[in-house]
Structure 1
Amino acid sequence: MNETDNLKQNMITALEGQKKAAFRSQFLELHFYDQMHLFTTLSGQQRQIIYRFLTPKELGDMFDEFAVDETTVIDYLKEMTPQLAATVLSEMYTDNTVDILGQMEKSDLATYLNLMPKDEIPEIRKLLNYDDKTAGALMTTEYVAVDQSKTVSTAMQIIRHQAENAEIIYYLYVLDDAQNLIGVVTLRDLLVSDKRTEIRSIMNPNIYSVLVDDDQEDVAQKVREYNFLAVPVVNQTGHMLGIITVDDIIDVIDEESAEDYSGLAGVNVDDTKESPWLAALHRLPWLITLLVLGMSTASLINHFDSLVSQASILAVFISLITGTAGNAGTQSLAIAIRKISVENDRKIWRLISNEVLTGALIGIVTAVVITIIVGVWKQNFILGSVIGISMLVAIIVANLAGSLIPILMDKIGVDPAVASGPFISTVSDLTSVMIYFSIAQLFLNYLV
């Protein structure tokens, strides 16, 4: 048993032995994340003891570490008395509180809001009204702000006074009399400046902010580009509404990556705890749709039945061409979805030409290789050339589709991840078969 396991066992022993002081001395030395991790391993009976041993503020600090999309957080709150749960929620950072409340049933939401401090309710209700996955839904209102006419000395006093409740104190946001954002000062600026200096003389007026209705992915991109610890959120008139901190941005990046991967696979990769029945139920509609699309490919092959009857050797290479084109299309799709999230329009459209050129280069190499292999294997270089040319054209078309379809989807406001790998593969199958048999028909006299 390692040191971590020993510590955990000692805390559990103190917990079950009702040794409050011993448990608190060890538990509160842990990082909030480690507290949360230990908490999730305990039984319901052990958690009930923790609810008595810790203050609402200490519980709130720990609950801030939970992923907001975990339904277990709501289950844990329901283990407490409604009053304790409401107090814990009020002790958490506002953005996390709002995220949890937003997942609750309306009856539970009303119960907790009625029990929370009255002065916090208007702010929480306002944040609950912002659309999901926007800057407004991500932001917290716990930031440090100062008037431009204040001195460095006064600003430091404000930071000391608000530091305990603020989510981040490295940035001090400068507001005018109308509470509009006009500048920002870092803690470093304050520390190196004379205490009598006015804030307006040391603030940076070049502010990078986001609008309250901006998509969370655009916000994440800005934070990633400029390496911000936090970014301010304003309305259309520049009125300061809140901030979004980098820890929330990390969650957004993780969420968006999971969505993109889900799209490529055609499944929800976050549903790792689903039962086989539910997993099958969620996956079947997509697979049935692909099955119908696959029937189009089968119908197309049937349309060329007479061609296959005259040159049966063509049937041998159908899966080779469709499989290679499908793989190439999926690769282009992955590149396109990634580029859409990080590039501007000009670079995205350059992506299409790059992918077509890449497809042409790959197609030429594979066409030459397969032409030689089939020509030597079947002693028929005309057949090898038909296979090679078909593969060249099919790969180019697949690369074009893999890059163009998600871009078009993004332009019309549809999540490009919907253009998943299975979907692109099925489309590639359809186009590849059409290309293959159309080219083969031109050389039929040499294949019979």
Structure 2
Amino acid sequence: MRLVILGGGESGVGTAILGKQKGYEVFVSDFGKIKGNYKEILIINGIAWEEEKHTEDLILNADVVMKSPGIPDKSPIVKKLLEKGIHVISEIEFAAPFTDATIIGITGSNGKTTTTMLTHHLLKSAGLNVGLGGNIGKSFAWQIADNKYDSYVLELSSFQLDGIVGFKPHIAIITNISPDHLDRYDYKYENYIDAKFRITMNQTEEDYLIYDADDEAINEWFKTHTTKAKLIPFSLTKIFSEGAYIKNNKMEIKINQEEFTMDTEHIALEGKHNMKNAMAATSVAKLMQIRKATIRESLSNFQGVEHRLEKVLKIQNVQYINDSKATNVNATFFALDSMNTPTVWIVGGVDKGNDYNELMSLVREKVKAIICLGLDNKKIIDVFGNVVDMMIEVSNMDDAVRMAQRLSEKGDTVLLSPACASFDLFENYEDRGNQFKQAVKNL
């Protein structure tokens, strides 16, 4: 069996190692450059590879192709593979049949990283032998090749779910759905929503789907679709006989005739959206039979996720917050919603079809100045130009932070929450967040 892998990054190299271990003839092809450390691993393992090209003769003879999530279906090589009827799948689909571990899969437009990290923290603190993978951390396939975990918590993007056929998590979570990556879904929101719900398409009555019952798109989907999985909703406003909710400042969870309660003030994560993330993760912990005391302790000591509403420093009584991971409007909505001081907002980057009007009421209420950090800021300026007193354009992070310091006064917050992808000026959102933190430290 010939396995061709498109993309020589973490998921590609991990799949190559697992494929070779399982007896496939493996070839890795990357249209860009393969990083030195990955190249070395391929060479040590005797895996054939190429970079900066896709040689059709070496690719179109595949029995199965694993495509890295970053490569769109519209790319010429993928189109040719599909025309030939060759299976093009994701790493998750390829790897899952090689493990008997319990799989917890987490998707959503926002909150999935925090929910994934918190779920992993809850299970690991309870002494479970649990791996973390998918969209974050070490490749899922690679971890299976090393064969060391009894369960996995996987963060799954819609791109990864697009490439599944038989994959099914025992426990699935959909944190929420809001328009994102529409450029990859023919600018049709319903296509993107359907992609997220692929997480439950193979689930049976033995499995569970945990979801946000306050989410409009999720509720709409349920009007015309069903899943066999047992449903566990969570909500900030509704109360359930089976599910998770907030009542009188207490988080309450009822699952399989068992109850769990905890005062929300003892939960380390702050903000309404994080209460939802905590309810989702705690629902998993309850399904995995984790002791109540362990859950309480883990929820009270969880540190949060880097680049997600991360407090950097307080300088001259101005708090600087790094929310570089906010790459869409909905994520920035949560960030602005959780501000309770006048805010200098750093925003901008590569727009994925954003509607900034959704932020209008929050910007009027909370934002005193806007700093546009992107190559094309026209849309942001058009929407908010008349709403805030100060609007400035900059083209690098040092200028953005220096400007923010000038515009802020005691008691204010400077918030980097770009609502956009980062590829115009930065390598990725981590690079953007790290540059912000460094620039703040240099003030």
Larger radius of gyration: 1
Higher helix share: 1
Q: What TM-score, normalized by structure 1, do the two folds share? A: 0.31
Higher strand share: 2
